[in-house]
Amino acid sequence: MRVLLAEDDEMIGDGVRRGLAHEGFAVDWVRDGRAAELALAENVHDLLLLDLGLPRRDGLTVLAAMRRRGDRRPVLVLTARDAVDDRVAGLDAGADDYLVKPFDLSELAARIRALVRRQLGRAAPRMTLGPLALDPATHTVTLDETPLALSAREYALLDALIARPGAILSRAQLEEKLYNWKDGVDSNAVEVHLSSLRRKLGSGWIRNVRGLGWMIATPAAA
């Protein structure tokens, strides 16, 4: 899951980025409202974490413009304590939720997961495909009830694939799930992580569709 963080406070921004990375999110951090708008235009993030007091363009303006464009991605507003007016204004402008600083990072992560889940219209937090199950709340994957030990990147790839069983995801779509902008993207990194994921899942789950990308399906459906 890839999150855009718009926050000009270095300490808060750094803490949130580290905390969410630890929870398995890819986080891109921008420090002003203009940069947030440019990043939103790339359309690669699943959710926006928005500080309202941003330089160059304030958070409420960014949020209102986003909703005017018809961008329905979830927005979680980060506000200062006692800023009741900010919270009301944020919700009125189309925010989905808010958290008051300072907040607990595990609560932030849980709220992000809940918002994205709601956005995707999934009632059940667990995603299953036949005997394979992925639980975003605990970051665990089980096959026939047996836990699989996956790396953060293997988990991110499986998360992307299992969200759309039978759909072919391109290399670019999978790379987006793996990397922050600042990371160098190794040209065959997706293949490396997929190959190790395939070894752990066993044969037949992840199929390469030559020239197009990869898809997941239950081996029995082959």
| Neighbouring residues of 169: CB distance < 8 A, sequence distance ≥ 6 | 160, 161, 213, 214, 215
Instruction: With contacts defined by CB under 5 A, name the span among 14-22, 34-42, 47-55, 195-203 that binds Ca ion.
Output: 47-55
For residue 167, CA distances in Å to 131, 157, 208, 209 come to 19, 13, 11, 11
Instruction: With contacts defined by CB under 5 A, name the span among 7-15, 58-66, 72-80, 175-183 that binds Ca ion.
Output: 7-15
Contact call for residue 8 and Ca ion (CB under 5 A):
yes
Quote the least distance from Cβ 78 to Ca ion, whole Å.
8
| Neighbouring residues of 195: CB distance < 8 A, sequence distance ≥ 6 | none
- Alpha carbon 117 to its chain centroid, in Å, reads 10
Contact call for residue 37 and Ca ion (CB under 5 A):
no
Quote the least distance from Cβ 54 to Ca ion, whole Å.
6
Q: How far apart are CA 213 and CA 61, in angstroms?
A: 38
175 with 185: CB under 8 angstroms? yes
Contact call for residue 53 and Ca ion (CB under 5 A):
yes
Contact call for residue 58 and Ca ion (CB under 5 A):
no
Q: Which is nearer to Ca ion, 1 or 78 (CB)?
A: 78
Quote the least distance from Cβ 19 to Ca ion, whole Å.
18
Instruction: With contacts defined by CB under 5 A, name the span among 5-13, 75-83, 117-125, 199-207 that binds Ca ion.
Output: 5-13
Contact call for residue 51 and Ca ion (CB under 5 A):
yes
3-state SS assignment for residue 104:
coil
Q: Which is nearer to Ca ion, 15 or 53 (CB)?
A: 53
